A and B are shown apart, each in its own frame.
Chain A
Amino acid sequence: MKIRLFVIIGALSLLALALLSDLAGGDWGRFGDGLSDFVVFFTESMWPPDWSVLEPRTYPECESRLEFTCSIGYIGMVETLKIAFVSTILGFLGAILLSPLAARNLQSVWISIPVRILLAAVRSLPSLIWALLFVVVIGLGPLSGVLAMSFYTIGYLGKLQYETFEGMNSGPIEAGRAMGLSSRAIATNIVIPENSNHLLSQLIFMFEYNVRHGTVIGIVGAGGIGYYITNYLKFFQYEKVFALLILIFVVVIIIDLISLFARSFVNEQGDVRRPTWMNLLLKKTEEKSQADSLK
């Protein structure tokens, strides 16, 4: 078994190497040259990072007491975070409406297949292409970024959600049908609450993903820190680009840590005490009346 695995991995590696050679046109020397060029580029053009991107802009004049908040780095990063947050929420709302319609265990094929095709169509365009389209339609700025990433989030999150729904145990769904619940009631009262841990985990993951991608869509003018990176690239100010890249890296790491903490609340393995839905949603009077009826 192990030998077969090694043979398969070896064969795939050889195939990848052959394809790489084909793509490089057989000129392997380009890799060696590229590496030395990168070292020169990094040491002479990018290093050291220019941290003036964290200093306040000269125009417009900074009116805040915290001068840091008037810097390009802060403004761009906050705009990226705003775009990511809004588009994640909008995308989640769109996805949660469509995904129960796409799940085969909840709907007939006449409904699920067209909705799946719709989600696949939305997902097939990367958020960068969506951003290009929206920049053309509604102009430069963060609104294009929000719409672009919302559309992509609907497609991406929608697929994750309907696959989660399809993977759930059929018992609760059958119990719901035996109670006379409609497909809509089964989705809203059983399937979504039953999978709430997964949905929340996917939502947090999507936010992280959108923060990372929010830096890219700025390149086509859809707002965020990517917009400033593109401008610095155009004027060969690589030290500033490098400083912004470090800033993005730090923010992504911080978000990763926060999401790790947030996910521990919805993780089965987490030892954090979780509030029950009953405590959150039901009034105490309901439990009291239940207790009274038992006496």
Chain B
Amino acid sequence: MSDFLAVHDLSFSWPGRTVLEDLNFDVGPNQLVSVLGVNGAGKTTLLKCINRILSPSSGSIHLLSSDVLGMTIMDVARQVAYVPQSVGTNFPMNVFDVVLLGRRPHLQWFVGDGDRDKVSECLHFLGIHDFAFRRYDQLSGGERQRVVLAKALAQEPKLYLLDEPTSDLDLKHQITTMEKIRSVVGDRTAPSSAIIAIHDIDVAARFSDKIMLLHDGKIRAYGPPKEVLTVELIAEVFGVEAEVREDSGSLRITIQAALKND
């Protein structure tokens, strides 16, 4: 098991319904892991459990050998950034201030120049500095998604938990955003890793080091994309017929048709 992130026997239940059951997996440094599964498979719940937004029923989570479930909320925030599916707000903050919120776990008393510089760096990195002073509640869904991602980058965590970070983005920004996440995670000078809940199998295959297939709250398969994303497993988990091929070293997946129910 890796000593970067190690999850043992993680389970979570709502009253009368088990969502996650005995999950065991590890994530190494500088790795991007995509969690795939149908709606309700437990992808978001898994991310929320790792981030302590939800309390697991049982199991343990260790990040850099520290017990996440035993940390204070502030310590978790210093090490783990969570980007939810969508964050709406009625509060008229500008984009700069929203991203500045990401510095909250590192602030002492006041916002310093270093914090502002970090925010500026993240805005430039994601190419959203042009609307830094526009109101967040007046942005489109895709623009908001990039702002919330910038907030996570400003948090400078060890672990990124991203819940469908590209669901509202146009085709170009889906690719550029994933490339940027990939480059952040791949930075060897500041080791970090990312777990991404995502629906687009092709994007996941292209950018991930590992794929986790969640099925009915259990890990059906976990490993490198070539081992996990097979025609048989895709059919079993998603109920679709897919074509899997290698194209200049990377895996390309095309969904052909939905399989008929037996």
Contact = CB atoms under 8 A, between A and B. Distances in A.
B257 interface: no
Contacts of B123: 294
Interface string A264-295: 00000000001011100000000101110110
A293 B119 contact: yes
Contact of A278 (B81, B92, B116): B92
Contacts of A175: 82, 84, 87, 101, 148
Contact of B104 (A179, A194, A274): A179
Interface string B91-132: 111101100011011000000010011011001000001001
A294 B77 contact: no
Given A171-B84, A290-B116, A178 B90 contact: no
Given A171-B86, A174-B48, A287-B133, A293 B117 contact: yes
B89 interface: yes
A293 B91 contact: no
Interface in A123-155: none
Interface residues of B, number: 43
Interface string A190-205: 0001111100000000
A177 interface: yes
A180 B82 contact: no
Contact of B105 (A171, A180, A290): A180
Given A172-B87, A277-B91, 10 more contacts: A171-B84, A177-B73, A178-B84, A179-B101, A179-B155, A180-B72, A181-B104, A278-B93, A290-B132, A294-B120
A179 B105 contact: yes
A188 interface: no
A193 B8 CA distance: 39
A290 B148 CA distance: 18
Interface in A63-95: none
A294 B82 CA distance: 25
Interface of A: 169, 171-172, 174-175, 177-182, 193-197, 274, 276-278, 287, 289-291, 293-294
- 8 closest Cβ pairs, A-B complex: A180-B77, A293-B116, A180-B74, A178-B82, A276-B92, A171-B87, A179-B104, A180-B105
B218 interface: no
A174 B91 contact: no
A291 B129 CA distance: 10
Nearest to B155: A179
Nearest to A282: B97
Given A197-B90, A293-B116, A180 B78 contact: yes
B96 A290 contact: yes
B135 interface: yes
Given A177-B52, A289-B116, A294 B84 contact: no
Contacts of B135: 276
B94 A278 contact: yes
B76 interface: yes
Contacts of A178: 51, 53, 77, 80-82, 84
A28 B38 CA distance: 66
A193 B81 CA distance: 23
B74 A291 contact: no
A287 B85 CA distance: 29
A220 B25 CA distance: 71
A275 to B, nearest CB: 9
Interface string B25-65: 00000000000000000000000100111000000000000
A230 to B, nearest CB: 45
Interface in B207-261: none
B16 interface: no
Contacts of B80: 178
Contact of B89 (A172, A177, A276, A294): A172
- Which residue of A172, A179, A197 has the most chain B CB atoms within 10 A of its CB atom? A179
